[in-house]
């Protein structure tokens, strides 16, 4: 149910209707400080940025592995991505095809890096140089993993075997990728 109020000519002040003189006063959604103008206060967007930095600061300060590509897209005013010359048909035509073996080798290399870090942590828990002798015998095949009784030494031995396996897989994948690359080059030169 809507009420309507009719204003007559008596509600006019100096020829201006009352409705034009009335204005709705909007309060600042963040509040105000007594004695300060709203222009002197921090901008609401600036306050939001500070809160986001405070809440996400530890996450944003984590190190990030940089991408291997030197191609960085430009971003225009509306947030769209402009790839420049790299988005053209010529670049797509001349760009080398995706090499699955190299990609897998790169991922395995990252895993190998993680395993080596964990190995260094476990190795610090073992005193002395005897651990290197055990790893040497393990590599030579004189000692089996089941023969190692000490839990930290067994963990180090498992990590060592895993690192050796990953290193071998990376080597094989890179050799296969290089062989395919050589074959493509020979086919290209034969044409």
102-158: pLDDT as tens digits:
999 999 999 999 999 999 999 998 888 888 888 899 989 898 988 889 999 999 999
Does residue 25 lie in a domain region?
no
Indicate whether this model's pTM tops 0.75: no
Residue 2: per-residue pLDDT: 44
Helices (H) and strands (E) in the chain, counts: 6, 2
Q: Establish if 147 belongs to a structural domain.
A: yes
Establish if 56 belongs to a structural domain. Answer: no
pLDDT band at 7 (very low <50, low <70, confident <90, very high): very low
Place of tokens 């080596």: 116
Measured at the CA of 170, the angle between CA 164 and CA 176, to 5 degrees, comes to 135
* Domain with 141 in it: 98-190
Count of domains for the chain = 1
Cβ atoms 123, 156 nearer than 8 A: yes
Is 169 among the domain residues? yes
- Tell me the C-alpha distance between 96 and 14, whole Å: 80
Residue 128 resides in a domain: yes
């Amino acid at each position: 149910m809507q009420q309507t109020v009719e204003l007559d000519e008596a509600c006019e002040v100096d020829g201006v209707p009352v409705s034009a003189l009335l204005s709705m006063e909007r309060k600042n959604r963040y509040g105000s400080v007594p004695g300060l103008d709203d222009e002197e206060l921090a901008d609401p967007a600036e306050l939001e940025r500070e809160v986001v930095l405070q809440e996400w600061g530890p996450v944003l300060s984590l190190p990030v592995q940089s991408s291997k590509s030197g191609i960085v897209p430009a971003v225009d005013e509306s947030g769209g991505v402009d790839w420049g010359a790299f988005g053209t048909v010529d670049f797509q035509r001349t760009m080398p095809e995706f090499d699955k073996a190299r990609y897998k080798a790169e991922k395995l290399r990252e895993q190998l890096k993680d395993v080596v870090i964990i190995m260094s942590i476990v190795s610090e828990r073992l005193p002395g140089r005897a651990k290197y002798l055990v790893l040497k015998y393990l590599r030579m095949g004189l000692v089996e993993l089941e023969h190692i009784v000490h839990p930290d030494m067994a963990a180090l031995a498992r990590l060592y075997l895993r690192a050796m396996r990953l290193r071998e897989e990376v080597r094989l994948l890179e050799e296969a990728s290089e062989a395919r690359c050589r074959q493509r080059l020979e086919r290209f030169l034969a044409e």
